[in-house]
A and B are shown apart, each in its own frame.
Chain A
Amino acid sequence: MFPFLTVLVALPAIGAALLWALPSSALTRVREIALGITVVEAVLFVIMALQFDKGDAGAFQFSETYAWIPQIGASWALGVNGIGLLMVALSVILVPLAILAAWREDKIPARRRHYLALILLSQAFMVGIFAARDVFLFYVLFEAMLIPMYFLIGSFGGAQRRYAAVKFLLYSLVGGLIMLVAVVALYFAGPGGEQAFLTEGLTGTLDLTTTQERLMFVAFFLAFAIKAPMVPVHTWLPTVAEEARAGTTALLVAVLDKIGTFGMITLCLALFPEAAQWAAPAIIVLAVISVIYGALLAIGQKDMLRLVAFTSVSHFGIMVLGIFAFQATSVEGAALYMFNHGLSTGALFLLVGFLISRTGTADVDAYGGLQRIVPVFAGTFLVVGLSALSLPGLSPFVSEIMVLVGAYPVASVAVIISAISVVLAALYILLTYKKVFTGGVPADKPATTRDLSLREKLVAWPLVGLMLLLGFVPGIAIDYLREPSADVVAHVTLEEADA
């Protein structure tokens, strides 16, 4: 069979190398080349997705396993189940849009080349992480991912970008290195041999005492909680969002941070089901705190990028709540939310980026009355904003309801408290919309700002379209998630029955 996943990982990586090797005379075409590569990637992905057997979405498909470092039990093992497929889809959709959004960002071609190559490199890592079926491979990509992100944040963005890059790197590195101890320990707890790190080989076979399992669970969970920013280890995200370029942040929050929740589902729950049960109450409390705390802080933000970052902290809290409720519907909802949140927040960050590219500021107070000047922009922003507050008819609504309803039977208090965030979300989105787009234009601001250009529409509208589609017919995505979610839940709760 055609090694789809390896090609999907290799293509952007080779593309990045190609961009760096490009002679300076060809630099004027660098954007077209980068976009072309991501489009080819998307086409390949669509061909693969069409062959995906929905009836068997819980199993890993397109599996490839090659020996990589047999001495330490690491394999180049790729494969996606329904959840992985949707996550790969998310990165395949958002990367070309981010490239399109950055079309006019860099004036100097060499810098533009640098930016696009880094974006392509991170795409390679993202696809690899979501498709990894080997814990060692997952870890390696998880950590290596930091390098392009670090340079993306540190080289392109606001005045404090270096500080933001270092903060991002240190947070992620601490989490990652603690996870490394658990990864090493996994080798000795698992079956060993040349394929010691294959996820399926490790699932259910670990020979661990309760304490060991809990410690290893915590090590993995900490790394993922930092990625999917949960209170209290979320503080790097607002800083990065504020300082990095909006397109970078869009990719970071919309796709990359999903690695955190993705890892919780595919590794934390699969490998350490008993410890997950044990930790669930505490994690749910943290998740609820994230939901409320993120929403409250979002209301107080003047900077739109920080605002969106805090809304994400809140939304990630809901995903984590859904995952650790261990109900088929709630896990399904959380997985769907991962995808929908990517669309919604990705669009929101990119739109704020467009706004910044016009006026140079993300400060809410600097704007007013844009509705009359740029009606199309305002309309698009409103729809995307409404998706972030989970308005029915837009896709995040479905997933949020699934999480809340699914988790209610086991965590009713947590669900009731989290539901308050829907009201808070209405506050932070609508207040922002009101300040920026309605009312009068501030006297010191020129009243002539361009409306959405064709390019910008091409970036924003596909995302809006997808959100509408999945808002009305969520079944097309849920079909991919039902089985893997049910498998995870069965795995965790069955273990409990044994104990």
Chain B
Amino acid sequence: MNFVTPTIDWAALTPIIIVLGAASVGILIEAFVKSPVTRRTVQLGLAVVSLAAALGVVIAQWATLEGAGTVAMAGMLTVDRQALAWMSILLVFGILAMLLFASRDGGGAFTELGASTPGSLEEKLARRAGLAVTEVYPLALFAVGGMMLFTCVTDLVFLFVALEVFSLPLYIMVALSRRRRYLSHEAALKYFLLGAFSSAIFIFGVALVYGATTVTNLDMIGRGVTMIADADPILLTGAVMVVVGLMFKIGAVPFHSWVPDAYQGAPTPLTAFMGAATKAAATAALVRVMFVAFAPLEWELSWLIWAVAIASMLLGTVVALVQTDIKRMLAYSAVAHAGFILVAFAGLEGEALTALPFYLLAYGLGTIGAFAVVSQVRERAEDGGVGAEAVRLGQWAGLGKRSPLLAGSMALFLLSFAGIPLTAGFIGKFEAFSAAVAGGAWVLVLIAVLASAVAAFFYVRLIVLMFFTDAPEGAEETIAIEDSALTRTVIYVTAAAILILGILPAGVLDLFADASVLLVNAG
């Protein structure tokens, strides 16, 4: 047996190499730059510049792409327009998230010393010494790089590698909250255990699919599946397990149990990033797996899509109704949105390839914006300084009077989640539902629509609190509104983007329509 070294098309991989390379450089910076303040500045600069550079390269690749795209690494990677669209979405999320990470309000969102015991002397000393965990920037870069890889990998084993590349940094970062550290640790542990569990399911599914088809390349699986007698139990079980592994990352019911805890416990800027980017990357991978490898199994897998979509929408909305913690409420809303995303997969229509990038872009911008707002509303600590985030719903009462722009932006994000017209969320939902109706799944769309109506109730409840309820006595003393320039920038940029994408979406839809071709690579 002799191995042929695959020729690698380095040019096609440039954006990913830039991001992962910058992440590696960032690790070295950790070792060599002593002062925490300088380190933070350098890391932030490196992260933003590398992400922006990668975005520039992606745009250049988009402009110069010939034909359907490029196959790289012996068919393991495909850089087509669909992948470029997802990569640019992830890079935009990455840049916005880096700005949130860098915000210094209340001493920043991340702990001074991850290894210290909460409440210990060590922690106090670290705080006094002004230490800072600036590893979050390279870690986040690794995550973004892994996610970018996730969107263009066309081989199940390589897909698993990419999955781990972006998951591991997230597990670490979830544990790095500055405040409510035990909660953060618990969240990280849960996220890690369930994530490991889902990885195991995924890789077992890959093994079964390999057993049934003797290949791991998505396109070859797709061709192999058509040749195998239908309802091969090994192939079907494998396919279901692979899809379930991805559904874990999307956060769909019944694979959602990590979502509320991880969202609640993680440092809020990270929740913003994770909520937006993980979902987008996992959806991108699910698109490729479903459309390329398992398209012939559409009928056999449709019950799974339907059941999980309906369960996610119903459970997400109903449980969100009774939440009193704003981060948990948004987490359950994320679960419901996982259901809406899966609705677009019904029937595997080509429309979904335009609808899903748009939906995830709209949803991700809203998520980043909403969690950025959450990070601005703080409890006042006993010493008069700024404390932890005020996440109890009641603490948001009267925010509209105190800070109309902040509350107005939050209302806009919530309306976009609810899918009210003239926001990006509406166009996203419309596109997703169109894809499903094109696939004949109008019953599913009807359920989705009813779930949207219920969901609107809890989004509106927060708007009522912010605008129509008077703040309780003494709220001025107990609640502090932060005004961090970086975070505010992110909030206003995302709010403007939500409005523009809602009112004049034609340009972006055009781009994503161009992206609605998946390159099938095994020639």
Contact = CB atoms under 8 A, between A and B. Distances in A.
Interface of A: 67-72, 139-141, 143-144, 146-147, 150-151, 154-155, 161-162, 165-166, 169-170, 173-174, 177-178, 180-181, 184-185, 187-188
Given A143-B421, A181-B446, A154 B437 contact: no
Contact of A71 (B426, B438, B446, B510): B510
Interface stretch (B277-285, B456-464, B485-493): B456-464
Given A72-B430, A178-B449, A188-B437, A147 B420 contact: yes
A221 to B, nearest CB: 16
A216 to B, nearest CB: 10
B437 A166 contact: no
A162 B469 contact: yes
Given A173-B453, A181-B433, A70 B506 contact: yes
Contacts of B354: 71
A162 B453 contact: no
Nearest to B432: A184
Contacts of A141: 421
Contacts of B446: 178, 181
A166 B460 contact: yes
B427 interface: yes
Contacts of B506: 67-71
Contacts of B430: 72, 180, 184
B353 to A, nearest CB: 12
Contacts of A187: 434, 437
B254 interface: no
Contacts of B510: 71
Nearest to B431: A72
Given A71-B509, A72-B509, A177 B421 contact: no
B376 interface: no
Nearest to A137: B421
A155 B398 CA distance: 12
Contacts of A146: 420
A165 B464 contact: yes
24 contacts: A69-B506, A69-B509, A71-B513, A72-B509, A140-B422, A140-B426, A147-B415, A155-B468, A161-B468, A162-B468, A162-B469, A165-B464, A166-B457, A166-B464, A173-B456, A174-B453, A177-B452, A177-B453, A180-B430, A184-B433, A184-B434, A184-B445, A187-B434, A188-B437
B413 to A, nearest CB: 14
Given A181-B446, A188-B438, A144 B422 contact: yes
Interface of B: 354, 415, 420-422, 426-427, 430-431, 433-434, 437-438, 442, 445-446, 449-450, 452-453, 456-457, 460-461, 464, 467-469, 504-506, 509-510, 513
Nearest to A146: B420
A144 B420 contact: yes
A143 B420 contact: yes
B328 to A, nearest CB: 21
Given A72-B434, A166-B461, 15 more contacts: A69-B509, A71-B509, A72-B431, A139-B421, A140-B422, A143-B421, A151-B467, A165-B468, A166-B464, A170-B460, A178-B450, A180-B449, A181-B446, A187-B434, A188-B438
A181 B442 contact: yes
A140 B429 CA distance: 13
A67 B445 CA distance: 27
A155 B467 contact: yes
A235 B450 CA distance: 20
For the complex of A and B, list the 4 residue pairs with the smallest distance between their C-beta atoms, beginning with the closest: A140-B421, A71-B509, A143-B421, A177-B449
Contacts of A71: 354, 506, 509-510, 513
Nearest to B457: A170
B500 to A, nearest CB: 13
A220 B457 CA distance: 22
Contacts of A69: 427, 505-506, 509
Most buried by B among A140, A150, A177: A177
A110 to B, nearest CB: 9
Contacts of A170: 453, 456-457, 460
Given A69-B505, A70-B506, A180 B467 contact: no
Contacts of A184: 430, 433-434, 437, 445
A177 B450 contact: yes
Nearest to A162: B468
**Chain B interface secondary structure, helix, strand, loop or mixed?**
helix
Nearest to B436: A184
A166 B460 CA distance: 8
A147 B412 CA distance: 10
A196 to B, nearest CB: 11
Contacts of B415: 147
A162 B468 CA distance: 7
A165 B469 CA distance: 13
B423 to A, nearest CB: 9
A477 to B, nearest CB: 32
B116 to A, nearest CB: 46
A70 B509 CA distance: 9
A150 B420 CA distance: 13
A139 B433 CA distance: 15
A209 to B, nearest CB: 13
Nearest to B418: A173
Most buried by B among A170, A178, A181: A181
A174 to B, nearest CB: 5
Contacts of A72: 427, 430-431, 434, 509
A178 B442 CA distance: 11
Contacts of B513: 71
A296 B430 CA distance: 42
Contacts of A178: 446, 449-450
Nearest to B513: A71
Contacts of B456: 169-170, 173
Contacts of B467: 151, 154-155
A188 B446 CA distance: 16
A187 B510 CA distance: 18
A150 B467 CA distance: 11
Most buried by B among A70, A144, A151, A155: A144
Contacts of A147: 415, 420
Most buried by B among A67, A68, A69, A154: A69
A154 B464 contact: yes
Nearest to B408: A20
Contacts of A185: 437, 442
A75 B392 CA distance: 43
Contacts of A169: 456, 460
A91 B427 CA distance: 28
Nearest to A169: B460
A151 B468 CA distance: 9
Contacts of B457: 166, 170
Contacts of A68: 504, 506
Nearest to A186: B437
A162 B464 CA distance: 7
A184 B430 CA distance: 7
Contacts of A143: 420-421, 426
Contacts of A155: 467-468
Contacts of B420: 143-144, 146-147
B299 to A, nearest CB: 21
A166 B456 CA distance: 10
Contacts of A173: 453, 456
A72 B354 CA distance: 11
A123 B356 CA distance: 34
A226 B354 CA distance: 33
B271 to A, nearest CB: 27
A67 B450 CA distance: 30
A169 B468 CA distance: 14
A177 B425 CA distance: 14
Nearest to A215: B442
A398 B220 CA distance: 75
A147 B467 CA distance: 13
B456 to A, nearest CB: 5
Contacts of A181: 433, 437, 442, 445-446, 449
